[in-house]
Amino acid sequence: MPYPFYHLFAFVISAVIVLWSTPIVKKIGLKSGRVDLPCDRKVHQRPMVRLGGVSIFIGTLVALLLVWGLGGFIDSGGQPLAPKQEYEIWGVTVGGMAFFLIGLADDLFGLSPLTRLLLQTAIASLAWGAGVRIEFLGIPYLGGLVHIGFLSLPVTVLWLVGMTNAINWIDGLDGLAAGVSGIAAVVMLIVSLFMNQPAAALIAAALAGGALGFLRYNFNPAQIFMGDGGSYFMGFTLAGVGVIGLVKTTAVTAVLLPYLILAVPILDMSAVIFERLRHGKSPFAADNRHLHHRLLQAGLSQRLTVLFIYSLTLWVGSLALAFSGFPSGVTYALGATGLLGYTSWKALKRVR
């Protein structure tokens, strides 16, 4: 079977399992009282089950296990993965499982920010040990690739932990984190295949199916939230796929692609941390400084805010396609620019 069919299979299986299992998870959450209560920082007006990440995790994991059992984890030449590549795949998969469990423990019992950070750092370090490593950085026009040597560990941990929390921090509106993650995963799927990294693309395909399938119940008005378990799992997995699927490719453009694809949550988190520090607050102190909060304060509705951020994510993703040299990538970028222009016009019209 040609390996692109495995990617379609992983996407469909993950989406179907999420569509089937989410109502069951919702019932269990309601019976157990595991709900997210309204407060000043949150826009929902009634208690909501926040265990939807369980469905996303199960859907993604089952899809990957089925593909593994069918022999779908192969290299671009159709051969079984080398041991080094297998370690990388397991590093992302098992690391994602561990991050999901950290988030689920926070959803169920509540963990302090320091405890979460220490656990995340430990798991990210183990993933680095398994081969999920950023070993060089790309600096276009200023020397190309720069090998970072002993800095590989802190840089990789910063990327994995930072990206995990960036996705978690944008999970503030119905469907926002799931949609942004789903769009980013689809772009990573396409670019990883183009870069001859089919194994990493399989993880992206399964994650994309789970995230987009979850939107059936999570888009405004949401019936269930993904919780920290879901956002941690998706954030780490996206970051991991970016490392083993793109950064491993020895090209300056490929090294920069993950940061471009995930630019929206990265810039949102960076801006929020800067603002908190500028006002003498802890970078972990929750507030209303995120992009979606500012758009709501400007007068946009929840749906228009989410759709605008979707279009922004799709736009940077299309730029990544063009930047990677993907066929017709420039055409897709122009189309996404037109979509972003339209949603920006609608947003400005609503504000006025």
Query: In order along the chain (352 residues), what is the average pLDDT of each group of 10 residues?
Result: 81 97 93 71 69 96 95 83 90 97 93 93 96 78 70 94 95 93 96 91 97 95 93 97 79 75 93 85 78 88 94 95 88 94 89 74
φ, ψ for residue 80, nearest 5 deg: -55, 150
How high is the pLDDT of residue 339?
94
Burial 338-350 (b: 16+ CB within 10 A, else e): ebbeebeeebeee
User: What single-letter DSSP state applies at residue 288?
Assistant: S
- Rounded-to-integer distance, Cα 73 and Cα 80, Å: 7
Bridge-based pairing state of the strands 48-49 and 136-139: unpaired
Element containing residue 139 per DSSP (H, E)? strand 136-139
From the centroid of its chain, how far is CA 19? 19
- Rounded-to-integer distance, Cα 283 and Cα 276, Å: 6
From the centroid of its chain, how far is CA 164? 7
- The packing angle between helices 152-169 and 227-242, to 10°, is 140
Q: Please say whether the beta carbons of 169 and 269 come within 8 A.
A: yes
Which SS3 state, helix, strand or coil, does residue 115 take? Answer: helix
Q: Give the ranges where the chain is alpha helix by DSSP (H).
A: 3-32, 53-69, 83-109, 113-129, 152-169, 176-194, 198-218, 227-242, 252-261, 263-278, 291-297, 302-324, 329-351
Q: Residue 37, exposed/middle/buried by CB under 10 A (0-12, 13-18, 19+)? A: exposed
- Can you say whether the dihedral through the CA atoms of 9, 336, 246, 87 is positive or negative? negative
Write the DSSP assignment of 48-104 as a string of letters: EE--THHHHHHHHHHHHHHHHHTT--B-TTSPBPPHHHHHHHHHHHHHHHHHHHHHH
How high is the pLDDT of residue 253?
63
Q: Please say whether the beta carbons of 228 and 106 come within 8 A.
A: yes
φ, ψ for residue 37, nearest 5 deg: -85, 150
- Rounded-to-integer distance, Cα 290 and Cα 275, Å: 10
How high is the pLDDT of residue 87?
92
